[in-house]
Amino acid sequence: MTNRAEMTRRDILKSGAAASTVTLAPGVTLMAFGGTAEASSRADAGKRWGLLIDASKCDANCTDCVTACKVENGWGADAEHGHVSADQSPEWIRKVTLKDKSTGREVSAPVMCQHCEEPPCVDVCPTGASMKREDGIVLVDKHICIGCRYCMMACPFKARSFVHEPITDQNVQSPRGKGTVESCNLCAPRIDSGRIPACVEACENAGHSAILFGDLKDPESPISKALKEYDSVALRADLELNPGVRYTNL
Amino acid sequence: MRLVLAFLAVIGFAGGAAADGTGPVVPAATGDPHPEGSDYWRIHHMDMLKHDRDLTMRDGVRDLSPDDLAINASIGECFDCHAVKDEAGDYVTFADDRHFCRVCHDYAAVTVDCFSCHRSTPSNESAVAYRTMAGPEDPSSIEAYLSRVAQEMNE
Amino acid sequence: MAMEQTIYRELKATPGVWQLAALLVAFLAAAGGAWFYMEHHGHVVTGMNNQIVWGLPHVFAIFLIVAASGALNIASIGSVFGQTAYKPMGRFSSLLAITLLVGGLAIVVLDLGRADRLIVAMTTYNFTSIFAWNVLLYNGFIAVVAVYLVMQMMRRLDYKWVKAAGFVAFLWRLALTTGTGSIFGWLVARPGYDAAIMAPMFIIMSFSFGLAIFILVTLTLFKLNDRPFGDQLLIRLGRLLGIFAAAVLYFAIVFHLTNLYATEHGGYERFILLNGGIYTVLFWGVQVVLGGLIPIALVFLNPSRSSTILASILVVIGGFAQVYVIVIGGQAYPLDIFPGYEVIEGFHEGVVNPYTPSIWELMLGLGGVALALFAAGLGAKVLRVLPTNLSDANVAAKG
């Protein structure tokens, strides 16, 4: 059985990663997790997760991605129960229908955190709660979020929400609470356990497959190939934030 | 604060004061005991929680690898064993003063900040699934997904 | 007969002082109640939402923080720029600068989603954030100005030290207001902010708002204790205020003209200048006319005691409106996430975001003002910061 105390202590003392053995008790030696176990589950700097949204495949009347996100992350019920107004209820992902002003063509697509390479929300956060993981996922560390909302001022995509009221019965994988800011985290707990984000799964199950998920750093991944092959756009490309979420046929 | 807790741990628990009603009565847990011993946990639980929290939250380490060296780094797992039920048989949340964490923390008057965001009762089902790495046979795994996409692209 | 030295005395506790103190305490209590209510229920009870994330409390806070650095100007003019007539007011100017800043910061802190985690903001810094720098700038300002104040109060200290401290404080207040302006100036995402001119504009705003508040607070305290404040000195301050108010107008004009020239900002300008409803009214009616043109006309065309007082009041009102237009107006105007497209479905996409402040936000904001004023009054009550006599004869004798 693992001895967490030893591991925690070792890691706190910064001797953990390099050590290969650890003494549990006199005479009892345990192989510690040095390279392999840790590397296999850590957010991988060699990857950058992203989404490619094909607006031509997105059905204007379908909101399955939004529903799946709500179920997975446990948001949205507060507004449905009428506790908070629509203005104050969280919105991790939203559907928009657009009409080209010059041609009149209508398209629909979901908008969520764009997981920028140069995220303004991370730049402006005074405490470092708004952060980008090694694998490119942008998210809020609610442990040190003070609820100043400066990240919401800085986000060009209105991707972030502030929790306006107390919450109970959260999903374990999605802790969220009053007074902190939240947004799409690309289902980081799912990715960490080798699963695709909930919206991607829902879109596929709905038969649209409008959201393509994958590793942008891997030139052989389907998303990289598709980006190379087809014309795609980044929202607010003028800001040069290099978002990890891209749109095609918009 | 840590000293106070350590002091209480010694006075309150080791001294057996709980039995005569002068200390908190810690709700019984299910499952195997912690290998480090309960005394260690009483004193160091916050250090360990904080350590794991930065590991999971900031580094994405969930330690789901199947070998038994894995730390199951999730506060949600605490309530696999440390859950208290009410008269109706439902698990009590942190709002109830019988909650595992509250019994001692109320006694020691130390505020707990975890449950303004975290669930304080045993895990929801989907989260339990995430404790194990998804294999290629799981349709929601990245592996299975990518092979489906590749198939589709070839067609 | 003319006095050789300025004599500083603590404020005497007249019934008027007590009444004013009681009034301010009432506001403080109301703000405390409002904060407790907001903290308990969450921001759901406020008018703020996910579109207008900073509301009325922030308008109060930014106004006070901007005014704080400006209130220090009187002291700076005295000790850094050597204007003798301003020196007797230096101590109170420094004290007021500190208390205004404390009042403003109190609002910001109490409005945080997790005000209980203030210690995190004080211990964990992300240095790419102008907000984190501002935490240091604000705390530093209080420390620097406190040292400056103490030095001014040390009679035996060689004046060169006061001058040096005053110079450091002056530089610091410039950095502080630059930081405050940059909170908005560096937000590239929003068309109403994203402008380098924000920083110098905030500095000039601080000159104007700070001086206006200084004039009003000092006159009130002098009146409560029947201490003389000379007409000529007041008219002189009024003229300075007129110059500052004109400079604020100039910066506002440059800001909007530059925006008008860039087609991409045309929408925002149309919103503020033409069809923004409340924001357009606040801009033209309150900021430009009431808080700009009228006070300038008053102090230059009809220089008098009452003109200066009225101009100060108008500058405060106009300044508040200006901060409201910048902070709220900048958020109310929609982000253009999909250029070239019309959003036919979606939530608050491409439409003006509505905002109705709640009573709680107003109470919290007024509480910050009350805190600043109460602390300034309390400081004047226990410290020798207010001169006994600022009559023209007395000032001239030393000048």
Q: What is the mean pLDDT of residues A75-100?
A: 85
Of chain A, the end-to-end C-alpha distance in Å amounts to 53
Q: B91 to chain A, minimum CA–CA distance in Å?
A: 11
Per-residue pLDDT band at C340 (split at 50, 70, 90): confident
For each of the domains in chain A, give its residue range(s) and CATH number, in order of start.
Answer: 4-41 (no CATH), 49-248 (3.30.70.20)
3-state secondary structure of A63: coil
Q: Do A173 and B127 touch (CB under 8 A)?
A: yes
Q: What was the pLDDT predicted at C182? A: 96
Q: What was the pLDDT predicted at B60? A: 85
Q: What was the pLDDT predicted at B65? A: 52
Cβ–Cβ contact A165 with B under 8 A: no
Q: Give the structural domain span for C198.
A: 15-398
Residue keyed to tokens 């440390």: B82
Residue C203 and residue C175 in contact, taking contact as beta carbons nearer than 8 Å: no
Per-residue pLDDT band at C75 (split at 50, 70, 90): very high
Per-residue pLDDT band at A76 (split at 50, 70, 90): confident
Q: Please give the structure tokens belonging to residue A214.
A: 């994958």
The answer as to whether C256 is a domain residue is yes
Q: What is the mean pLDDT of residues A171-187?
A: 96
Q: What was the pLDDT predicted at A231? A: 92
The answer as to whether C213 is a domain residue is yes
Using CB atoms and an 8 Å cut-off, which of residues 198-217 of chain A contact chain B?
200-201, 204, 209, 212-214
Per-residue pLDDT band at A5 (split at 50, 70, 90): low
Total domains, chain C: 1
Per-residue pLDDT band at A36 (split at 50, 70, 90): very low
Q: What is the mean pLDDT of chain B?
A: 82
Q: What was the pLDDT predicted at B54? A: 85
Q: What is the mean pLDDT of residues A215-242?
A: 94
Show the CA angle centred on residue A154, arms to residues A151 and A155, nearest 5°. 85
The answer as to whether C7 is a domain residue is no
Of C294, C326, C285, C327, the closest CA to residue C313 belongs to C294
Q: Residues of chain B with pLDDT > 70: what percent?
A: 80
Q: What is the mean pLDDT of chain A?
A: 85
Q: A93 to chain B, minimum CA–CA distance in Å?
A: 20
C361-379 pLDDT, tens digit per residue, is: 999 999 999 999 999 999 9
Per-residue pLDDT band at A79 (split at 50, 70, 90): low
Q: What is the mean pLDDT of residues C37-57?
A: 95
Q: What is the mean pLDDT of residues C209-228?
A: 97
The answer as to whether C375 is a domain residue is yes
Q: Which residues of B touch A30 (CB under 8 A)?
A: 69
Q: C131 to chain A, minimum CA–CA distance in Å?
A: 5
CB-nearest to A170 from B63, B117, B131 is B117
Per-residue pLDDT band at A8 (split at 50, 70, 90): low
**Whether residue A69 has pLDDT greater than 70:** yes
* C-alpha torsion A140→A144→A145→A148, nearest 10: -140
**Whether residue A177 has pLDDT greater than 80:** yes
Bridge-based pairing of strands A49-54 and A245-248 is parallel
The highest-confidence range among B72-86, C22-36, C120-134, by mean pLDDT, is C22-36
Q: Which residues of C touch A166 (CB under 8 A)?
A: 41-42
**Whether residue C313 has pLDDT greater than 80:** yes
**In sequence order, what are the beta bridge partners of A247?**
A53, A233
**Whether residue C1 has pLDDT greater than 50:** no
Of C249, C259, C252, the closest CA to residue C333 belongs to C259
The answer as to whether C310 is a domain residue is yes
Q: Do A11 and B51 touch (CB under 8 A)?
A: yes
Residue C233 and residue C395 in contact, taking contact as beta carbons nearer than 8 Å: yes
**H-helix or E-strand spanning residue A94:** strand A93-100
The region, left, alpha or beta by phi > 0 then psi within -120 to 50, assigned to residue C82 is: left
**Whether residue C116 has pLDDT greater than 50:** yes
Per-residue pLDDT band at A32 (split at 50, 70, 90): very low
Q: What is the mean pLDDT of residues C26-47?
A: 96
Q: Residues of chain C with pLDDT > 90: what percent?
A: 87
CB-nearest to B53 from A7, A143, A196 is A143
The answer as to whether C3 is a domain residue is no
The highest-confidence range among C12-16, C187-191, C200-204, by mean pLDDT, is C200-204
Cβ–Cβ contact A23 with B under 8 A: no
Q: Give pTM, 2 decimals.
A: 0.91
Q: CATH number for the domain including C192? A: 1.20.1630.10
Q: Do A170 and B153 touch (CB under 8 A)?
A: no
Per-residue pLDDT band at A19 (split at 50, 70, 90): very low
**Whether residue A22 has pLDDT greater than 70:** no
Q: What was the pLDDT predicted at B142? A: 95
Show the CA angle centred on residue B150, arms to residues B147 and B154, nearest 5°. 140
The answer as to whether C250 is a domain residue is yes
Per-residue pLDDT band at B21 (split at 50, 70, 90): low
List of residues 6+ apart from A113 with CB closer than 8 A: A92, A138, A157, A159, A160, A183, A184, A185, A186, A245
Q: Please give the structure tokens belonging to residue C219.
A: 């006159």
Q: Do C54 and A100 touch (CB under 8 A)?
A: no
Q: Do A193 and B60 touch (CB under 8 A)?
A: no
Which is higher by pLDDT, C350 or A94? Answer: A94
Q: What was the pLDDT predicted at A81? A: 66
The answer as to whether C174 is a domain residue is yes
Q: What is the mean pLDDT of chain C?
A: 94
Q: A143 to chain B, minimum CA–CA distance in Å?
A: 9
Task: Spell out the SS3 assignment of A126-174.
Answer: CCCCEEECCCCCEEECCCCCCCCCHHHHHCCCCCCEECCCCCCCCCCCC
Q: CB count, 10 Å around CB of C399?
A: 11
Q: What is the mean pLDDT of residues B73-100?
A: 91
Q: Do A111 and C337 touch (CB under 8 A)?
A: yes
Per-residue pLDDT band at B11 (split at 50, 70, 90): very low
**Whether residue A229 has pLDDT greater than 60:** yes
CB-nearest to B60 from A37, A192, A196 is A192
Per-residue pLDDT band at C351 (split at 50, 70, 90): confident
CA distance C285 to C292: 10
Per-residue pLDDT band at B6 (split at 50, 70, 90): low
Q: Which residues of A touch B68 (CB under 8 A)?
A: 1-2
Q: What is the mean pLDDT of residues A195-218?
A: 96
Per-residue pLDDT band at C329 (split at 50, 70, 90): very high
Minimum Cα–Cα distance from A162: chain C residue: C50
The highest-confidence range among B33-42, B76-85, B129-138, C323-332, by mean pLDDT, is C323-332
Q: What is the mean pLDDT of residues C148-177?
A: 94
A113-145 pLDDT, tens digit per residue, is: 999 999 999 999 999 999 999 999 999 999 999
Chains that contact A by 3+ CB pairs under 8 Å? B, C
Minimum Cα–Cα distance from C339: chain A residue: A236
Where do the structural domains in chain B lie, given as residue ranges?
2-123
Q: What was the pLDDT predicted at B120? A: 94
